[in-house]
Chains A and B, each alone.
Chain A
Amino acid sequence: MAGIDRGARVTDGFDAFVVGRGPALLRFAYVLCGNRHLAEDLVQEVLARLHLQWKRIERMQAPEAYVRTAVVRQYLSWRRRRASTEQIVAELPDRIDPNNLEQELVARDEVWALLSVLPRAQRAVLVLRFYGDLNDDEIATLLGCAQPTVRAHASRALARLRSVIQAKPTVEVDRG
Chain B
Amino acid sequence: MADVDNLVRESLQRRAAEAPGGDWLLAAVHARSDRLRRRRRIWARSMTGLAVALLIGAVPAAAQLVSPDSRVANPGPGTVSASVRTDPDPTPSNPTPTASATAPGLTTTASPLRLAAPAYPTPSFPLRPDPATGLPRGGLKTPVITLDSGALQGFFEARDGQAGADVTIVVTAQRPTFGAAAGPVSETDRQVRGHPGTLRTVAVSPANQLNLYWQESATQWVQVRTDDTFSNAEVVTFANALSAAALPLDVGLRLDLAPVGLVLDTAAPSRLALRPGDVPAGAAPTPTVVCTLYDTRPLSGTAVNVGSYRAAITRTASGVELAVTVDDRGVTLLVEVSAQYPISDADLIRFAAGVHLTDRAESQRR
Name A's B-contacting residues (CB within 8 A).
2-3, 6-7, 9-10, 15, 18-19, 22-23, 25-31, 36, 39-40, 43-45, 47-57, 70, 73, 109, 111-112, 115, 126-127, 130-131, 158, 161-162, 165
What separation, in Å, do the CA atoms of A158 and B4 have in the docked complex?
7
B29 in contact with A112 (CB, 8 Å): no
Q: How far is the CB of A15 from chain B (nearest CB, A)?
A: 6
Q: Is B363 an interface position by the 8 A CB rule?
A: no
B20 in contact with A36 (CB, 8 Å): yes
Partner of B9, one of A45, A49, A130, A165: A130
Q: Is B25 an interface position by the 8 A CB rule?
A: yes
Chain B's closest residue to A47 (CB) is B29
Indicate with 1 or 0, residue by residue over B63-85, a CB within 8 angstroms of chain A CB atoms: 00000000000000000000000
Name B's A-contacting residues (CB within 8 A).
1, 3-5, 7-22, 25-26, 28-30, 32-38, 41, 141, 157, 160-163, 205-207, 229
Q: How far is the CB of A6 from chain B (nearest CB, A)?
A: 4
Beyond A28-B16, A109-B15, A126-B12: 19 further Cβ-contacts under 8 Å? A3-B34, A3-B37, A18-B22, A18-B26, A27-B17, A36-B19, A36-B20, A39-B20, A43-B25, A44-B28, A45-B32, A48-B32, A50-B206, A52-B36, A73-B205, A131-B9, A158-B1, A158-B4, A165-B4
Q: How far is the CB of A8 from chain B (nearest CB, A)?
A: 10
Chain B's closest residue to A113 (CB) is B11
What separation, in Å, do the CA atoms of A56 and B29 have in the docked complex?
18
With a cutoff of 8 Å between Cβ atoms, the chain A residues found around residue B10 in the complex are 111
With a cutoff of 8 Å between Cβ atoms, the chain A residues found around residue B37 in the complex are 3, 6, 52
Chain B's closest residue to A28 (CB) is B16
B8 in contact with A48 (CB, 8 Å): no
Partner of A131, one of B4, B12, B25, B41: B12
| Given A73-B205, A111-B11, A130-B12: A51 in contact with B29 (beta carbons within 8 A) | yes
With a cutoff of 8 Å between Cβ atoms, the chain B residues found around residue A53 in the complex are 162, 206-207
What separation, in Å, do the CA atoms of A50 and B206 have in the docked complex?
7
With a cutoff of 8 Å between Cβ atoms, the chain B residues found around residue A30 in the complex are 15-16, 18-20
Chain B's closest residue to A55 (CB) is B162
Partner of B8, one of A10, A51, A55, A111: A111
6 pairs of A and B residues whose beta carbons are closest in the complex: A55-B162, A30-B19, A22-B22, A48-B32, A6-B161, A23-B22
Q: How far is the CB of B1 from chain A (nearest CB, A)?
A: 7
Chain B's closest residue to A163 (CB) is B4
With a cutoff of 8 Å between Cβ atoms, the chain A residues found around residue B161 in the complex are 6, 9-10, 52
Q: How far is the CB of A135 from chain B (nearest CB, A)?
A: 14
Chain A's closest residue to B6 (CB) is A130
Chain B's closest residue to A19 (CB) is B26
What separation, in Å, do the CA atoms of A123 and B7 have in the docked complex?
14
Q: How far is the CB of A79 from chain B (nearest CB, A)?
A: 17
| Given A36-B19, A45-B32: A22 in contact with B26 (beta carbons within 8 A) | yes
With a cutoff of 8 Å between Cβ atoms, the chain B residues found around residue A112 in the complex are 11-12, 15
> Can you pick out 17 interface pairs between chain A and chain B where the beta carbons lie within 8 Å of each other?
A3-B34, A3-B38, A6-B37, A7-B34, A19-B26, A26-B22, A28-B16, A39-B20, A44-B29, A44-B32, A47-B33, A48-B33, A52-B33, A55-B163, A111-B11, A112-B11, A131-B16
With a cutoff of 8 Å between Cβ atoms, the chain B residues found around residue A47 in the complex are 25, 29, 32-33
Chain B's closest residue to A45 (CB) is B32
Q: How far is the CB of B263 from chain A (nearest CB, A)?
A: 32
Q: How far is the CB of B2 from chain A (nearest CB, A)?
A: 10
With a cutoff of 8 Å between Cβ atoms, the chain A residues found around residue B34 in the complex are 3, 7
With a cutoff of 8 Å between Cβ atoms, the chain A residues found around residue B28 in the complex are 40, 44
With a cutoff of 8 Å between Cβ atoms, the chain B residues found around residue A3 in the complex are 34, 37-38, 41
Partner of A111, one of B7, B16, B207, B229: B7
Q: How far is the CB of B257 from chain A (nearest CB, A)?
A: 33
With a cutoff of 8 Å between Cβ atoms, the chain B residues found around residue A49 in the complex are 33, 36, 206
With a cutoff of 8 Å between Cβ atoms, the chain A residues found around residue B22 in the complex are 18-19, 22-23, 25-26
What separation, in Å, do the CA atoms of A64 and B36 have in the docked complex?
22
Partner of B25, one of A7, A22, A161: A22
With a cutoff of 8 Å between Cβ atoms, the chain A residues found around residue B20 in the complex are 26, 30, 36, 39-40
